[in-house]
Amino acid sequence: MRQGDLFEPGAGAAGAPPPALALERHQLLAWQERLATHQGPLFTAGPAAPVAEQGLLLAEPDPGPVDTDPLDPDAQARALDPLSLQPQSLSFWRWPEAPQRGAAIYLVLDRPPHLPLPLLLYVGETGRADRRWKGDHDCKTYLAAYGEALRRADLDARPSIRFWSDVPEAVKARRALEQALIRRWLPPFNKETAGRWSTPFTADQG
């Protein structure tokens, strides 16, 4: 299944024709609900707590807490609460003074009014947070098509972008963190999750 089957690149963008098959309201709601079923527990769980081991009858003295590698990308991904990051308009890059610079992980979320929690749609990394969202970007294309599909179905899109600046400066380490977040959250607009979410464009229309 190709990424973008649900929200085809170019659909809803300036000068692009609309999808041949309009998505129905119930299809979009069902897609959002499926994503929320996976991500909702991650939003409400908070940072992962250590797993408690079953005590032994004749246990040896407790050696104390075991240190975890603070640079382990999976541990960092589990510790991140996306809702703790400040939401910004997707048009932030048009501002005269960029609100953030340098290395960052960025997350694009939608806040559907009918759902109790947001949906995490995309995770990306950059070494230039003030420039990454300028110009062409696959996620911007998917968001345009997503917003247009919701509008046609009389549903609201409330997208925002959030930047996490407490990330490695080294590209390799930062990309490892990005991939750990993608594995954890399975955001639907990342190419790595293209095979994870079935879509109304490919579903049997009967």
Alpha-carbon gap, residue 71 to 73, rounded angstroms = 6
Concatenated DSSP letters for 22-61? PPPHHHHHHHHHHHHHHHHHHHHH-SPPPPPPPPPTTPPP
Q: List, for residues 150-197, the tens digit of each pLDDT value.
A: 999 999 999 999 999 999 999 999 999 999 999 999 999 898 987 787
Is residue 184 within 8 A of residue 42, CB to CB? The reply is yes
> Could you tell me the pTM of the whole model?
0.77
What is the edge-to-edge ordering of all strands in the sheet holding 160-164?
119-126, 104-110, 160-164
Q: List, for residues 45-76, the tens digit of each pLDDT value.
A: 865 544 333 433 444 444 444 444 667 999 99
> Which letter does DSSP use for residue 87 in this model?
P
Residues sharing a CB contact under 8 Å with residue 100, sequence separation 6 or more, in sequence order: 129, 130, 163, 165
Is residue 90 within 8 A of residue 142, CB to CB? The reply is no
Alpha-carbon gap, residue 14 to 152, rounded angstroms = 16
